[in-house]
Structure 1
Amino acid sequence: MSQLKQEITLFSGIGQLSTTLLGTGLFMIPAIAAGIAGEASLWAWIILFIAICPIALTFAQLGKRYPNAGGTAYFVRQAFGVKLERSVAWLFVSVIPVGLPAAIELAGGFAQQLLPSPLNNAMLAQVLTIALLIIVSLIGSKSSGQLQTVIALSIFSLVGAFFWVGDIGTQDLTMPALTSDSLWSIGAALGVMFWCFVGIEAFAHMGEEFRNPQRDFPIAIIVGCFVAGATYWACSVVILKFNAYGSAAFDSTSIPWLSEHLFGSGIKTVISLLGFFACFASINLYTQSLSRMIWAQARQHQPDGKLAKVSRRGVPANATYLVGGILLISCIAGEISGMDLEFFLKLANGIFVFVYLLAMLAAFQLLTGFAKWLAAISLLLCTLVFVCLGWSMLYAITIFALLSIPWKRIFINRSISWDKNLRKQK
């Protein structure tokens, strides 16, 4: 068996994307953005959503016309050929050791609060998170989508409860006045908030597994982005009303603090459980996307290899085990060395934005009519965001440049040259 199962429905697809976009971001970014821009962060969310719409719509058009597990790498191959496809594919895979461990650490922090005292260990919590990621990935995209849909509904229920119990009124929903000073703070907040919509490129790898990709995939992207954007904005309204921002502690504890403040300490376990699964949902889609990227490359270049095989459930099992192994090694290395995971998260953000940029470049080449102009706008937006990343964009460019060098041809030419020299010496 060498094909993925087409099990993802429209509803489960919306659930998968919305939980991926919310994921770790909901527990950090609204409070951080409020700390940077204050009430003006409400405008920043609207601006970000407007900016992300053409990018999301462009991904929707690409996924509709080219549904493939290779995602952006496949789009690039259709536009520019196989050589550039390989570089993009491994650029995306290179995010495994620098980006996902930070998210796993955050998820493990919630899991650690749920473990009994003898097992209350940070490393053990991360190992258990990775094990659960592999198990969920192996059971298939249908079951995984159903799980993430449940998580999405739980998150929406929590934010809705914040509105109800927090007595959010018309005054709280009134947009603040814009000033010249607030425009600068909005710009600074947007640089952080873009992280909330990193995940669309990973979702592109799931297009091949939709029952009806031409109809459902673009709808899932558009609705998923709208749902996530509305949830972020609503959560920011609550955070601003109760001043749950402005300190380093609030950057990661604003949601637990609000829950305890509004519902009492008895809900602490529920919030830890929801926090874990929200973070887990985000990492889960990336784990599945990365394994499908590796599988798609193996299917293209080594169709008889072990990584090109799929299980009876239609899952690239060997590729999933490989991703899980790399995650485990990366988390252990990070825990032992005490490396700054925030630093690596910035490196990962540079890779993600660069992947977005390359996808939009491929879209401009492939699409026609209105979709082509939409891709042009998206390409400009991604370029501006990439430049704003500063030093972290250099990491993505360096990795991409190294991956683009024809190392195999260089080694072959050198070996031929060495053989000729040896013959001359003899």
Structure 2
Amino acid sequence: MATTAGLTRTSPAVIGGSLTVAQGAALSVGAVLGTGVITLPALAAAVAGPASLLAWAALVLLSVPLASTFAALGARHPDGGGVSTYVRRAFGERAAGAVGWCFFFAIPVGAPPASMMAGGYVADVVGGGRTTTVVVAAGLILGTGAMNLAGLRFSGRVQLALASVLALLMTATVAVALPHGSTASLTPFAPNGWAATGTAAAVLVWGFAGWEAVASLAGDYRDPRRDVPRATGIAVVVVGVLYLGLATTSVLVLGPATGRSQAPLSDLMAISLGEQARVVTAVVAVLLTIGAMNAYFAGGSRLGAALARDGALPRLLARGGDAGEVPRRSIALVTVTSALSLVVAVVRGLGLTPLMLLATGCFTLVYVLGTASALRLLPRGTVAWWTALVAFVSVTALLVVNGVHALWALGLAVLSLGYRSGVRGWERRPSAGP
């Protein structure tokens, strides 16, 4: 999950169109860089071996048309609603409700792997293996829920600071560890076959979710048509360099051990700076996870209240959704379902990858609907329209590569349509006479 990625991103409030290109680029980088990167190199390598580097490169390349499409939408239709606004304009309320469901119900399946990533770093330092990982994960889920119930949340500046710390840590890790790498680690290049590269790409969507935030910020720029594309271009380059640098360093330095590592950043830092570096990396991992989960729980609970207000979820969840209020019922639902998801994962012995694929399926479907709306809203035949077409085809292919895990996202979309139709049908029923 991106550090400020998710449903409604908590970013510094910039009012009156005062956002500069540099600030916008920083916010966009912060929206995409996330906690997943602390474990994604290992997960991707476990799936596809060194060939996972091709998946990383493919996702970086996909970021160009995808981010450009949302930048074009934001520049032409600056609105804080982001993807849901564009989908509503292009396809109506039902499609917008489907986007909302995909975002909202991605949290219960996304929170356990995000928290277990941090738990893995703690276990790497204190020991205890999977038990420590699960205990830390449960503590993060319940603690984040309690923070939000109390009305506490990280400010946008803190979120941005955490993302900056992550970027600096990634840069430092690459700089100190890369000299210890060897090209011999690239052999065999595709030990699990070339098809595994597609699965690795589907997993990596986790680390690239966040480009839709570009559109949400568009109205805050001084000159959206000029500044949004510039800020987006800077962000794409920075994110691409950081991700590819870290993934390449992990494979070259750790070799086959990359896929077995539960704390690849710690392993890389320990090689160059000693075992004491593991403690620092674990602390950073936990703080980043708290920040990311706080953003998801806060944004997700508000989204749930908004969906309930609009009739896309049960009305009882709408309470507390107004400005200045705390949507405690929605927060409680997010927390309980996330905890239950963690219990299921532990009982069933699920690893991080299956749950991440369920969550990334939701993100990918949102991108499919977002780019499809761009094809209807952007001037046909323009460079922006053709770019949106490339993005649409690419994310649709990613959804297919997601395999059976995509059924979770597609099922949510169908259920949202069924729920909306059922509610409206019930509201149209004549009242029973005396």
* Same structural fold, with TM-score higher than 0.5 when normalized by the shorter chain: yes
Matching residue within 402, 408, 431 for 1:395: 408
- What secondary structure does 1:227 align onto? helix
Between the two proteins, the alignment pairs up a number of residues equal to: 401
What is the deviation of 1:103? 1.6
In the superposition, the TM-score normalised over structure 2's length comes to 0.76
* Matching of residue 48 in structure 1 with residue 48 in structure 2: no
Q: Which residue number corresponds to residue 389 of structure 2?
A: 376
What is the deviation of 1:83? 3.3
Q: Which residue number corresponds to residue 191 of structure 1?
A: 202
1:263–1:133 Cα change, 3 Å: farther
Alpha carbons 2:357, 2:405 under 8 Å: kept: yes
Output the CA distance in 2 between the equivalents of 1:63 and 1:193: 25
Q: Which residue number corresponds to residue 365 of structure 1?
A: 376
- What secondary structure does 2:106 align onto? coil
Q: What is the correspondence of 1:298-337 to structure 2 with a 5 Å cutoff? A: 307=320, 309-311=322-324, 317-319=325-327, 321-337=328-344
Q: Which residue number corresponds to residue 165 of structure 2?
A: 154
What is the deviation of 1:270? 1.0
1:328-373 Cα distance to aligned partner (Å, 9 max, x none): 2124324555454744432222211111100011000000122111
Alpha carbons 1:210, 1:217 under 8 Å: kept: yes
- What secondary structure does 1:354 align onto? helix
1:263-314 Cα distance to aligned partner (Å, 9 max, x none): 1122222111111233344434434543554566578789xx7555223xxx
Output the CA distance in 2 between the equivalents of 1:27 and 1:46: 18
Matching residue within 412, 417, 423 for 1:408: 423
Output the CA distance in 1 between the equivalents of 2:95 and 2:252: 49
Alpha carbons 1:110, 1:272 under 8 Å: kept: yes
**1:326 corresponds to which letter in structure 2?**
L
Matching residue within 89, 98, 101 for 1:87: 98
Bigger mean CA deviation after superposition, 74-83 or 356-365:
74-83
What is the deviation of 1:244? 4.9
1:346–1:212 Cα change, 3 Å: same
RMSD over aligned CA atoms reads 4.1
- Identity of aligned pairs, percent? 25
Matching residue within 14, 17, 22 for 1:6: 14
* Matching of residue 276 in structure 1 with residue 291 in structure 2: no
Output the CA distance in 1 between the equivalents of 2:322 and 2:412: 28
1:223-264 Cα distance to aligned partner (Å, 9 max, x none): 3333222111111222122225446641x2211122222211
Output the CA distance in 1 between the equivalents of 2:158 and 2:244: 24
Larger radius of gyration: 1
Alpha carbons 1:35, 1:247 under 8 Å: kept: yes
Q: Which residue number corresponds to residue 5 of structure 2?
A: none
1:85–1:190 Cα change, 3 Å: closer
In the superposition, the TM-score normalised over structure 1's length comes to 0.78
* Matching of residue 259 in structure 1 with residue 269 in structure 2: yes
Output the CA distance in 2 between the equivalents of 1:173 and 1:322: 54
Structure 1: gaps (5+ residues): 312-316
Output the CA distance in 2 between the equivalents of 1:288 and 1:220: 26
Structure 2: gaps (5+ residues): 1-11
1:90–1:174 Cα change, 3 Å: closer
Q: Which residue number corresponds to residue 34 of structure 2?
A: 23
Alpha carbons 1:70, 1:293 under 8 Å: kept: no
Output the CA distance in 1 between the equivalents of 2:377 and 2:361: 24
Alpha carbons 1:32, 1:246 under 8 Å: kept: no
Output the CA distance in 2 between the equivalents of 1:318 and 1:28: 32
* Matching of residue 127 in structure 1 with residue 142 in structure 2: yes
Q: Which residue number corresponds to residue 9 of structure 2?
A: none
Bigger mean CA deviation after superposition, 175-184 or 94-103:
175-184
